[in-house]
């Protein structure tokens, strides 16, 4: 928003973080609307659609996700359901809820923020079987959506991110530090959301200089 001047709806579970984001964007071109919401909860997609209120959505970025790191033998159904609800179910529900708003000219673009952990034949790490599997599902979803929505002029791609300096990375790999900041990666994702559909559709694209 600071660079492209578009109107943005930012959704997160943490209202304090959203308020800090709003303050940091004060005075910028464009308009920011925030919504404190857990998108993994039933009915969340309908709440987002209500907030959009029929306005055109040029890009939908699925960036929300949770990490679950456990060795095989310790997983329980409740943990797996929560993980897949956030990382897989919610992106599908939100996408289908906003299809009418995404359809139009210029082309609508759905961007799924995945992980190199879910990228086929990339290096894998112990303790992340459920997380990486959820990101693999997200990547496949992006490709399936691209095929199913092409006649509605909606494109869909997945960015498989490598290591970025975030709380999630530090939780998964406490001894690793990435030189890629969350701000720089966020700017890249924003540019891709607005322009990447001109060159790509149905692609799973590695965006990684390093992996832990």
Q: pLDDT tens digit string along 51-100?
A: 999 999 999 999 999 999 999 999 999 999 999 999 999 999 999 999 99
Reading the block at residue 64, the tokens are 């929300």
d(CA 178, CA 170): 9
Domains of the chain with bracketed CATH: 56-207 (3.40.50.720)
Active-site pick, 75, 81, 119, 131: 131
The per-residue pLDDT for range 117-160, each reduced to its tens digit, is 999 888 898 999 999 999 999 999 999 999 999 999 999 999 99
Distance CA 176, CA 171 (A): 10
Distance in angstroms (rounded) separating the CA atoms of residues 163 and 128: 14
The pairing of strands 32-36 and 8-12 is parallel
Q: What is the pTM of this model?
A: 0.91
CA angle, residues 37, 42, 46, in degrees to nearest 5 = 70
Q: Is 75 considered catalytic here?
A: no
CB atoms within 10 A of CB 109: 24
| DSSP code, position 150 | G
């Amino acid at each position: 928003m600071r660079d492209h001047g578009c109107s943005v709806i930012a959704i997160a579970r943490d209202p304090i973080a959203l308020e800090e984001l709003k303050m940091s964007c004060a005075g910028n071109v464009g308009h920011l609307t925030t919504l404190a919401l857990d998108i993994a909860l039933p009915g969340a997609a309908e709440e987002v659609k209500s907030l959009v209120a029929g306005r055109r959505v040029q890009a939908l970025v699925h960036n929300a996700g949770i990490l679950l790191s456990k060795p095989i033998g310790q997983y329980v159904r409740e943990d797996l359901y929560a993980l897949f609800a956030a990382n897989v179910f919610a992106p599908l529900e939100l996408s289908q809820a906003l299809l009418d708003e995404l359809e139009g000219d210029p082309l609508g673009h759905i961007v799924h923020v995945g992980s190199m952990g879910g990228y086929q034949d990339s290096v894998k790490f112990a303790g992340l079987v459920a997380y990486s599997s959820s990101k693999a599902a997200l990547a496949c979803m992006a490709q399936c959506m691209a095929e199913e929505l092409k006649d509605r002029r909606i494109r869909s791609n997945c960015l498989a991110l490598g290591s970025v300096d975030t709380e999630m990375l530090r939780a998964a790999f406490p001894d690793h530090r990435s030189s890629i900041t969350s701000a720089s990666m966020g700017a890249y994702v924003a540019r891709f959301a607005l322009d990447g559909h001109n060159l790509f559709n149905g692609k799973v694209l590695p965006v990684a200089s390093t992996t832990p």
